Amino acid sequence: MQLLLAPSYLLWMLLNLLLLFTCVAAWAPAQQTFATEVQPQAVAPPPLEVRPLFLSGPTGNRVDLVFLADGYLSSEKDKFFADALFLAEDISANQTYNTVRPLLNFWAAFTPSRESGVGKGGRTKDTVFGLYRDGTELRGVWCNNTDIARAACESLGDGCDYPITVGNDPLYGGSGGYPTVITASPANGPQILRHELGHSIIDVGDEYDGGASWGYFGVNAAQNASRSPPWSHWLTNPSNATRVEHSVMPLQQYTWTMLNTSSSWTTTFISSGTFSKYALFFSVSGIPNTADLTIKVDGQTLPWEVRSNIGADRWLYDLNFNRGLSGGRHTLEYRLNNKTLEGTAQLCSVEINEFGSEAEFISKPGHYGLYPVYSDKNTTTYRPTNEDCLMRKVTTPNFCSVCKEDLWLHLLQRVDLIDNFAASCRTGSRFLTATVVPFGRFRQPEDRKAGEEYTFQWFKNGVRQMQFDGMVEVNTGSGTAGVGRWAFRAALKTDEVRRDPEGLLTNERQIKVTAIC
Ligand SMILES: *[C@@H]1O[C@H](CO)[C@@H](O)[C@H](O)[C@H]1NC(C)=O
Ligand SMILES: *[C@@H]1O[C@H](CO)[C@@H](O)[C@H](O)[C@H]1NC(C)=O
Ligand SMILES: *[C@@H]1O[C@H](CO)[C@@H](O)[C@H](O)[C@H]1NC(C)=O
Ligand SMILES: *[C@@H]1O[C@H](CO)[C@@H](O)[C@H](O)[C@H]1NC(C)=O
Ligand SMILES: *[C@@H]1O[C@H](CO)[C@@H](O)[C@H](O)[C@H]1NC(C)=O
Ligand SMILES: *[C@@H]1O[C@H](CO)[C@@H](O)[C@H](O)[C@H]1NC(C)=O
Ligand SMILES: *[C@@H]1O[C@H](CO)[C@@H](O)[C@H](O)[C@H]1NC(C)=O
């Protein structure tokens, strides 16, 4: 999320580098000493009580996400399984990963910790995976025992592709990489989970402003507006592929400042006075009530409302104004009004964006174009939509179409649409039966998606058997009729994939039948 992603991403890159070095070093004798130094010590996996949450198929042909418990006592086992179910449900029951859920399995694996909760102040508690925060602020949560997380995942064989350590803590925090780290925060846990999994599974960068410039990459990032972006096939107006939506970011700061009632936190920024609208994006923690905080621009109080039931947790707020700022210097001010919140109330980040009119900056959802993203150094890259994607707005539950398409493709690199293809004899006839991943009409009726369907084709000795089109089981007849080289081809069509250069939505299986039934 806004504040934690920059550092978490750095860690993720470092981890990858470390892994790379470890692998490279293993092949290069000159690096042997270094390799021995960074080679993680073999550790025993912790005992795991594994329970399925949502299963869609065999682990060998699915991407398996496994929640691991950190900072849960034996007596908190039920809480862990409930937290894991809540997280899995939130990101897959009706949104985010819902359409690709047939490619996923969700599991929860419990190990008791000796202490409850996650560490803070840069110190771990006595927990299985050693999750901790650097300070008390609601930012990154790190995993100290990544080797144990790796051993836990590996002990599950092909039943674990992505380990997700869940810290037993009700407040914001987490980090990407291996393992994914989140907390059981009801407000933020699902948001961080789906965002970090986006980084891990799809391999896309962030879309929000204020990140390091190297953090903008993948199918959702264009570096040069004069060239066709990776999402050219999603553009709403392809005849104007180089049009850039008109906006600017005059202010962006990760403030991490504790608020007090004796004086306001203030900053200034400069507007060109040429834009029609502006927005204030900010995040705070430790502010449970609207009246606890006053926000002013140029001395004018801005209307804002706290997210209901947020308590002390952190939340990201967007205030959009349908008017422009005048040219010149402006003052932004945050004042804490409630003394009992001193020591917990924190202003985490502030950002101002200015936008052209709707003709110059198309803000409406579903519009695909080139939207500027500004790094911490104010360098510009481009994203596909205004606010359709959770890689930009973590409070948004869904990916934009560009990321969603790449999610499909990345998952289908690891999952074959055909789970099984087998021959059998029944009443003297040769039957061939294919089992496919449950998409299209194979989904539960209430879960079917418009525009999603399979086509099935059959081939005998390379010759198309049109009479079997659309079937998953065929009776090829008795005697020698069934003998030969049979192929079954499944092709999936979904509105969520427009471009499939590697043909990942088509799979074929063959079987050679030599015996007569
Ligand atoms: C999914 O369900 C949650 C909880 O019931 C609800 O808040 C959310 O709006 C739903 N999302 C969609 C896309 O229907
Ligand atoms: C992480 O674990 C190591 C031992 O494996 C320990 O020396 C170190 O202090 C731990 N780090 C934190 C932040 O607790
Ligand atoms: C952007 O692309 C255009 C057109 O291909 C090219 O002329 C220009 O040099 C590129 N700019 C940068 C900074 O790479
Ligand atoms: C293309 O975008 C430019 C602004 O970048 C605009 O002036 C022009 O009218 C657009 N053309 C079309 C055909 O939409
Ligand atoms: C970023 O650059 C633009 C001009 O290109 C400027 O108007 C804006 O104020 C700058 N923002 C920051 C945060 O420096
Ligand atoms: C109160 O907050 C302001 C703004 O962050 C800061 O300058 C000041 O030092 C703080 N005062 C106390 C007593 O902490
Ligand atoms: C200050 O905050 C505390 C904790 O949320 C709350 O109980 C109290 O009512 C607030 N005081 C005022 C004056 O709003």
- Would you tell me the crossing angle of helices 189-197 and 77-92 to the nearest 10 degrees? 60
Alpha carbon nearest to ligand 5 atom 10, residue = 250
What tokens does 406 get?
């790449």
Q: Which of 297, 362, 351, 304 is nearest to 326 (CA)?
A: 297
Alpha carbon nearest to ligand 1 atom 2, residue = 94
Q: Give the distance from CA 103 to its chain's centroid.
A: 15
Nearby residues of 89 by Cβ (< 8 Å), 6 or more positions away: none
Alpha carbon nearest to ligand 2 atom 8, residue = 144
Residue 271, Cβ neighbours under 10 Å: how many?
A: 19
Among 235, 240, 247, residue to substitute to test ligand 4 (most atoms within 8 Å of Cβ): 240
Instruction: Specify the pLDDT at position 3.
Output: 33
CA distance 153 to 179: 9
Alpha carbon nearest to ligand 2 atom 13, residue = 123
Which residues are 432's β-sheet partners?
423, 474
Alpha carbon nearest to ligand 2 atom 2, residue = 144
Ligand 6 atom at minimum distance from 265 CA: 4
Instruction: Specify the pLDDT at position 136.
Output: 81
Instruction: Specify the pLDDT at position 16.
Output: 37
Q: Which of 287, 294, 283, 288 is nearest to 256 (CA)?
A: 283
d(CA 210, ligand 5 centre) in Å: 12
Ligand 1 neighbourhood includes 95 CB (under 6 angstroms):
yes
Alpha carbon nearest to ligand 1 atom 10, residue = 94
Q: Assign 462 to helix, strand or coil.
A: coil
Alpha carbon nearest to ligand 7 atom 6, residue = 340
Residue 62 exposure: Cα atoms within 13 Å on the Cβ side: 22
CA distance 405 to 413: 13
Please answer whether residues 210 and 5 qualify as being in contact, where contact means their C-beta atoms are separated by less than 8 angstroms.
no
Tell me the backbone φ, ψ of residue 253, rounded to 5 degrees.
-145, 135
Burial class of residue 477 (count of CB atoms within 10 Å of its CB; 0-12, 13-18, 19+): middle
Please answer whether residues 455 and 470 qualify as being in contact, where contact means their C-beta atoms are separated by less than 8 angstroms.
yes
Q: Which of 42, 39, 12, 44 is nearest to 111 (CA)?
A: 44
Domains of the chain, earliest start first: 1-38 (no CATH), 49-202 (3.40.390.10), 246-361 (2.60.120.1200), 417-513 (2.60.40)
Ligand nearest to the CA of residue 360, numbered in listed order: 4
Query: What torsion, rounded to 10 degrees, do the Cα atoms 114, 115, 117, 120 define?
Result: -120
CA distance 483 to 476: 9
d(CA 18, ligand 3 centre) in Å: 34
Ligand 5 neighbourhood includes 3 CB (under 6 angstroms):
no
> In angstroms, what CA-CA distances link 85 with 190, 300, 314, 512?
11, 45, 22, 43
Alpha carbon nearest to ligand 4 atom 7, residue = 243
d(CA 262, ligand 6 centre) in Å: 7
Residue 242, Cβ neighbours under 10 Å: how many?
A: 12
Ligand 5 atom at minimum distance from 270 CA: 9
Instruction: Specify the pLDDT at position 244.
Output: 98
Alpha carbon nearest to ligand 3 atom 10, residue = 224
Question: What does each of the 517 residues of the chain score in pLDDT, given as a tens digit?
Answer: 333 333 333 333 333 333 332 222 222 222 223 334 445 558 999 999 999 999 999 999 999 999 999 999 999 999 999 999 999 999 999 999 999 999 999 999 999 999 999 999 999 999 999 999 998 888 899 999 999 999 999 999 999 999 999 999 999 999 988 999 999 999 999 999 999 999 999 999 999 999 999 999 999 999 999 999 999 999 999 999 899 999 999 999 999 999 999 999 999 999 999 999 999 999 999 999 999 999 999 999 999 999 999 999 999 999 999 999 999 999 999 999 999 999 999 999 999 999 999 999 999 999 999 999 999 999 999 999 999 999 999 999 999 999 999 999 999 999 999 999 999 999 999 999 999 999 999 999 999 999 999 999 999 999 999 999 999 999 999 999 999 999 999 999 999 999 999 999 999 999 999 999 9
Ligand nearest to the CA of residue 287, numbered in listed order: 7
d(CA 144, ligand 2 centre) in Å: 6
Ligand 4 atom at minimum distance from 239 CA: 13
d(CA 261, ligand 6 centre) in Å: 8
Alpha carbon nearest to ligand 3 atom 3, residue = 226
Ligand 4 atom at minimum distance from 360 CA: 4
Ligand 3 neighbourhood includes 227 CB (under 6 angstroms):
yes
d(CA 51, ligand 5 centre) in Å: 51
CA distance 227 to 219: 14
Burial class of residue 350 (count of CB atoms within 10 Å of its CB; 0-12, 13-18, 19+): buried
Among 252, 376, 378, residue to substitute to test ligand 5 (most atoms within 8 Å of Cβ): 378
CA distance 135 to 115: 19
d(CA 4, ligand 7 centre) in Å: 28
d(CA 129, ligand 2 centre) in Å: 11
Instruction: Specify the pLDDT at position 137.
Output: 83
Instruction: Specify the pLDDT at position 40.
Output: 53
